[in-house]
Amino acid sequence: MTTPRWRALSSSDPPPGATQRWRLDLAYDGSDFSGFAYQPQFVTVVGVLRETLARTLRLSEPPHIVGAGRTDAGVHAFAQVVHVDLPVRMFRNDRGPEVPRLLKSINKQLAGRVRILSAQPVSDEFHARYSASWREYRYLVLESAPPGLDLTNAWSWSVEGPLDLDAMNRASAAMLGTHDFRAFCRRPANSKAGDPLMREVLFARWQRLDDEWGLSPTGAPAVRLSIRAVSFCHNMVRCLTSTIVAVGQGQLPENTVKQRLKSLQREFLPPPAPAGGLSLLSVGYGEFAGGPSGFVR
C-alpha cells in the first residue's frame, strides 16, 4: 500500500481547542492484547495507542480513538483503520515537532506490538467505522495436526487433514448475500434474543497455499479463507470457519451452513475456531477517505 504523504496544516493561528481529524492505518500482533477496543482494566490495542499518543504529543488526556471494527483477543490486523482528532497546534510548520519525526517516535514506543503504517489528515465527515463500505478477513488453517492432537499457534489453527476444499467452498457459497447470522455470532450484550443479526457477505473463498519452502511432506500445509462483508458480528468468521472446517473433514454435511442460516440455531455446531488464525486484511473506503487500506484483490 502506498503510504499517504503527511500534509502540513495552515500556518494561520487556529482557534483555541481546534482539532484536525487524522486517519491512521495500523498493523498489530494481537497475541498479547485483550482485544482491540479500549477497556480500562485490560491491555488493548486502542489503550496502548491512546497512552502513546498522549505521552508523545503531551496531551492533557488520552484522545478518543474510533476503529473500523473490533477484533477479539488474539486476532491480528495488517491494515486496521482508526480516526482520531488531535490539536491543530501539534502539526503546524512554524512550531512544534515535524510530523514524520513524531510518527517515528510513536512507532518506536509501540515497540512492534502496534505499528502505524500510514497517516493522513481527513475531513471531519470521515468516520473510521461508518465511512467503511466493507471489511476483509483472512483465516489460516494448517493441515498438519497428527490424528488426535489439537495444535494451535499464534497465527494459524492446526487441524487433522486432509481437508476437502471443494466441499468447503460449496458450503461457503451459502453465506453469500444478506442473511441473519444468529447461528454463527455471539449476541451483543444489549440485544434481545429474537433480534436478527443481518449481515451481507460479499466474497468468501477457500484456497490451498503452495508450500514453496517444503515445510510439509504433503506439499500443502495450509488452506486460507478469504472473506469480505459489509460488516461482521461478534465471532462470525471464527464460527463459520470451525463449521466449514468440520465440513472439509467430513464431520458435517455440506448443507450445514445453508440449513443453520434458515433455522438460526447454533446447537451442536463446533466452538469458534481459535482467534490466532484470524487477521484483518483490509477495510474499504471511497476516494474521499483515502481509499481502501491494505492489500485489495
What nine digits make up the cell of 284?
A: 474499504
Domain positions in the chain are 19-131, 134-280
The predicted pLDDT at position 147 comes to 63
- Of 15 and 159, the one with more pLDDT: 159
pLDDT digits (tens, 9 = 90+) for 46-64: 999 999 999 998 899 999 9
Do the domains 19-131 and 134-280 sit in the same CATH topology, yes or no? yes
The predicted pLDDT at position 122 comes to 93
The predicted pLDDT at position 200 comes to 98
Q: Binning pLDDT at 50, 70 and 90, where does residue 9 land?
A: very low
- Of 197 and 213, the one with more pLDDT: 197
What nine digits make up the cell of 91?
A: 502539526
Asked if the model's pLDDT at residue 1 lies above 70, the reply is no
The predicted pLDDT at position 169 comes to 98
Sign of CA dihedral 225, 229, 231, 234: negative
What nine digits make up the cell of 239?
A: 464460527
Cα 147 versus chain centre, distance: 31
The one catalytic residue among 25, 32, 72, 210: 72
Span 207-222, average pLDDT: 70
Span 4-25, average pLDDT: 65
Q: Binning pLDDT at 50, 70 and 90, where does residue 16 land?
A: low
The predicted pLDDT at position 25 comes to 96
Q: Binning pLDDT at 50, 70 and 90, where does residue 15 land?
A: low
Query: Average pLDDT, whole number, for the chain?
Result: 87
Whose CA is closest to 28, among 82, 64, 66?
82
The topology under which CATH files domain 134-280 is Alpha-Beta Plaits (3.30.70)
The topology under which CATH files domain 19-131 is Alpha-Beta Plaits (3.30.70)
pLDDT digits (tens, 9 = 90+) for 233-272: 999 999 999 999 999 999 999 999 999 999 999 999 999 9
Span 160-173, average pLDDT: 95
Active-site residue, 72 included: yes
